[in-house]
A = this chain, B = another copy of it.
Amino acid sequence: MPTEQIGRADRILDAAKDLLLRWGYRRVTIDDIAKRAGVGKGTIYLHWRTREQLFFAVGAREAVAMLEAVVTAMRADPGEIALHRYMRRFFLEAMRRPVLRAIFTRDAETLDKFLSSPARKPLEGAKLLASREYLGVLARHGLLRAGLRPEDLDYPLPTIVFGFFAIEPMLPAEVSLSLEEKADHLADTLRRTFEPERLPDCEPAAERGIEIFEGLSRDFSNAAYGGGDGS
């Protein structure tokens, strides 16, 4: 895809994202987005086949930004590859991006019908949360408790992490923890539940792990700009 078309796609996604956060999924029309992006309505359909896929692309682009932040952190400090550190950062980076926050907390006001659309699934699926390959790398480098196989985390890991996201809109006002403190609780839980008491050197695991997250990032990028079907 020509660079200049990517710029146009980004302008459209910017417009869609702004309007989504201001008005919510239901109220934003394709015409609104086209006007705001300064393009004709038909132009939008040169990039994405349906309205739903356009909004999926909005989320996918945010996921790419989040994954890039994660990878940058891992490059700066290989210790970030550890499960509890990764999930801590994942939580923080996701919650700080309004679109991802809406998706992960299942904000019905903002997302409306998009919540029950199949296009949303890849954005909060287990693959994004922790791919099997990543868990495999952790296991091979001694970053999971002895005897713990990657598939042993299939149920409890997403369940625990999901709890921290999903409870967010239900917290009573008197809970005054900062986002960092919440992330610390999540990290502590995962640290104690899934990791060995002493963590080995993370350098070699980080090397392989970064590749995995970069690949995931590329996949989401392709899905966002390629008019992909989100599969």
The CA-CA distance from A192 to B158 in the complex, in Å, is 17
The CA-CA distance from A188 to B148 in the complex, in Å, is 13
**Minimum Cβ distance to chain B for residue A11 (Å):** 34
Chain B residues positioned under 8 Å from A162 (CB to CB) = 163, 166-167, 170
**Minimum Cβ distance to chain B for residue A7 (Å):** 37
- Per-residue interface assignment for chain A, residues 134 to 177, with 1 indicating a CB less than 8 Å from any chain B CB and 0 otherwise: 00000000000000000000111011111110110010000101
Chain B residues positioned under 8 Å from A188 (CB to CB) = 156, 193
**Does A189 reach chain B (CB closer than 8 Å)?**
yes
Chain B residues positioned under 8 Å from A189 (CB to CB) = 156, 160, 189, 193
The CA-CA distance from A38 to B85 in the complex, in Å, is 60
The CA-CA distance from A159 to B156 in the complex, in Å, is 13
With A192-B193, A193-B193 given, is the CB distance from A185 to B159 under 8 Å? Answer: yes
Chain B residues positioned under 8 Å from A193 (CB to CB) = 188-189, 192-193
Chain B residues positioned under 8 Å from A159 (CB to CB) = 163-164, 167, 185
Chain B residues positioned under 8 Å from A8 (CB to CB) = none
**Does A97 reach chain B (CB closer than 8 Å)?**
no
Closest to A163 in B: B163
Chain B residues positioned under 8 Å from A182 (CB to CB) = 155
Closest to A165 in B: B163
The CA-CA distance from A25 to B154 in the complex, in Å, is 34
The CA-CA distance from A170 to B120 in the complex, in Å, is 13
| A 175-231 contacts with B by CB, 8 A | 175, 177, 182, 185-186, 188-189, 192-193
The CA-CA distance from A158 to B166 in the complex, in Å, is 12
Whether A175 and B155, one on each chain, are in contact in the complex, defined by CB atoms closer than 8 angstroms, is yes
Q: Could you show 16 A-B contacts with beta carbons less than 8 Å apart?
A: A154-B175, A155-B185, A156-B185, A156-B188, A159-B164, A159-B167, A160-B160, A160-B163, A161-B163, A162-B166, A162-B170, A163-B164, A163-B167, A189-B189, A192-B192, A193-B193
